[in-house]
Structure 1
Amino acid sequence: MLKFILFNAMLLTSYDNTITLVSTRNNGKKHFLPIPLQAAGR
């Protein structure tokens, strides 16, 4: 379970770093966060 949480943390971090470049064009809104969070919750 701990490895699963750590993996999700790493995945969300890398996902945030790459998509942030794109989200800055959209008024800097981080609207993409709910998507990986919902995926991790399932």
Structure 2
Amino acid sequence: MYNGITKEEIEVVYRCFLKLDSNLDYINKLIEKGYKYEDSSNI
């Protein structure tokens, strides 16, 4: 436990960050088109 956060939760967040990093160009294109970026699960 790290400050009440489990190792599993940290790994999930870390994987999400890796996924976000790999999709930043795609996300930026969506933002430029005026879409709100809310959910990474469908990328």
Shorter-chain TM range is 0.5 to 0.7
2:24 to 17, 20, 23: 20
Question: Scaled by the length of structure 2, what TM-score is found?
Answer: 0.52
Give structure 2 stretches of 5+ with no counterpart: none
Shift of 1:27: 3.1
**Structure holding more helix per residue:** 1
Higher Cα radius of gyration: 2
* SS of residue in 1 equivalent to 2:26: helix
Q: What is the TM-score of this pair, normalised by structure 1?
A: 0.53
2:34 corresponds to 1:30: no
Taking only aligned residues, the RMSD between alpha carbons, in angstroms, comes to 2.5
Q: How many residues get paired?
A: 35
Partner amino acid, structure 1, of 2:13: A
Distance, in Å, in 2 between the alignment partners of 1:2 and 1:27 is 32
> Which runs of 5 or more residues in structure 1 are unaligned?
37-42
* Identical amino acids, percent of aligned pairs: 6
